[in-house]
C-alpha cells in the first residue's frame, strides 16, 4: 500500500513538471506572437491553454483522492497541499500567456506595443521566459538557489512594469486611449505571470524547509 502511495506522490510531482513545461511553451509562443503580430501562433496558444487546464484539473483530482484515501501526514501532507496550490499558480500562468496571445490576436495586423516601449516589453517577455524555465528547473531539482534566482528576475520585471506605468502617465505620452489600455494590460499580464512564478518558488521552499518563507527569502 505504501508503494502505491509513493507512486501516486511521484506522479503528482511529474504532473506539475509537465504543466510547467507547457506553461513555458505557452509564454514563449505568446510573446513571439505578441511581438510579431503572428495571429496564427496566437491562436495556437489560446487553443493550447485547454491542455494546461485539463492537466491541472487531473492533478487536483489525484491530489484530493490521495488526501481522502491515504490520510497522509507531515511532509507528505505538505507535498500534496503544496502541489494543489502550485498547480493553481501554474494554471494562472498559462491563462496570462493566453491573455498576451489574445491581445496579439485582437490588434492583428498591427502590433500591440508602440515603438517607444518595444524594447521594454521585449525585456519583460525575456524575463518571464527565464522565470518559467527556472520554475520547471526548481520543480525538478528543488534547488533553493533556483528559487532565489526567480526572485531576482521578478524584481527586475517589477522595475520594468513600474517604468511602463510611469511612461504612460507622462505628459509626453500621446498614444490613443485604446493603445494606452493595451499597454497597461500587457504590462500587468507580464508582471502577474512573474508573480505566480514567485508563488511556486515560495511553495517549493516550504516543501524543502518546512517553513513558510517571507516575500524576499
In CATH, what number is assigned to the domain containing residue 53? 1.20.58.220
Residue 217 has pLDDT above 60, yes or no: no
Residue 50 has pLDDT above 90, yes or no: yes
Q: For residue 204, tell me if it sits in a domain.
A: yes
More confident residue, 51 or 72: 51
**What is the mean predicted confidence (pLDDT) over 180-185?**
98
Q: What CA–CA distances, in Å, run from 100 to 108, 122, 138, 198?
A: 13, 13, 24, 19
This prediction's pTM = 0.93
d(CA 20, CA 136): 6
Q: For residue 215, tell me if it sits in a domain.
A: no
More confident residue, 62 or 140: 140
pLDDT band at 151; cut points 50, 70, 90: very high
Domain count, the chain: 1
More confident residue, 133 or 76: 133
Q: For residue 217, tell me if it sits in a domain.
A: no
Q: For residue 150, tell me if it sits in a domain.
A: yes
C-alpha grid cell, residue 71: 490520510
Q: For residue 41, tell me if it sits in a domain.
A: yes
C-alpha grid cell, residue 124: 519583460
Q: For residue 47, tell me if it sits in a domain.
A: yes
Q: Which of 30, 62, 35, 76 is nearest to 49 (CA)?
A: 30
Residue 138 domain boundaries: 2-209
Amino acid at each position: 500500500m505504501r508503494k502505491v502511495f509513493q507512486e501516486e506522490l511521484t506522479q503528482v510531482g511529474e504532473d506539475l513538471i509537465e504543466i510547467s513545461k507547457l506553461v513555458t511553451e505557452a509564454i514563449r509562443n505568446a510573446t513571439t506572437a505578441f511581438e510579431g503580430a503572428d495571429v496564427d501562433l496566437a491562436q495556437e496558444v489560446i487553443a493550447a491553454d485547454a491542455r494546461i487546464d485539463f492537466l491541472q484539473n487531473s492533478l487536483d483530482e489525484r491530489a484530493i483522492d490521495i488526501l481522502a484515501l491515504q490520510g497522509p501526514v507531515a511532509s507528505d501532507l505538505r507535498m500534496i497541499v503544496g502541489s494543489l496550490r502550485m498547480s493553481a499558480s501554474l494554471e494562472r500562468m498559462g491563462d496570462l500567456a493566453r491573455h498576451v496571445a489574445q491581445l496579439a490576436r485582437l490588434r492583428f495586423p498591427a502590433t500591440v506595443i508602440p515603438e517607444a516601449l518595444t524594447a521594454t516589453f521585449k525585456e519583460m517577455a525575456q524575463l518571464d521566459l527565464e522565470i518559467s524555465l527556472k520554475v520547471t528547473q526548481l520543480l525538478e531539482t528543488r534547488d533553493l538557489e533556483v528559487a532565489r534566482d526567480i526572485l531576482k528576475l521578478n524584481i527586475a520585471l517589477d522595475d520594468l512594469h513600474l517604468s511602463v506605468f510611469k511612461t504612460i502617465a507622462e505628459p509626453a505620452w500621446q498614444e490613443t486611449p485604446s493603445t494606452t489600455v493595451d499597454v497597461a494590460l500587457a504590462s500587468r499580464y507580464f508582471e502577474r505571470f512573474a508573480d505566480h512564478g514567485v508563488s511556486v518558488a515560495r511553495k517549493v521552499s516550504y516543501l524543502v524547509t518546512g517553513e513558510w518563507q517571507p516575500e524576499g527569502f
